[in-house]
Amino acid sequence: MLKTFEDMRTTRFPSLLEQLRSSFDSRRILDSAWLAALGVSRDEHETILKDLHRYLYETLETLLHAMGQD
């Protein structure tokens, strides 16, 4: 986990919404490291992240729209 954070410490990340919308590569790497730390099989990472990122993006978009911040 620490190596992953160290490798990415200079990476410039777009907004969280954009990271989730585009499945930003560095976002996937970080989230995959968390899944590995939680003991999730590597075979499941991509499927989980695809669904998770889509769900989080849609939820944030809905919240922003409800708050009038399109």
Give Cβ neighbours of residue 27 (< 8 Å, ≥ 6 apart). 13, 19, 20, 53
Cα 20 from chain centre: 6
- Mean pLDDT calculated for residue range 27-34: 95
Amino acid letter at 55?
A: Y
Confidence of residue 70 (pLDDT cuts 50, 70, 90): low
15, containing H or E segment: none
34-66 pLDDT, tens digit per residue, is 999 999 999 999 999 999 999 999 999 999 999
DSSP for residue 26: H
* pLDDT exceeds 90 at position 18: yes
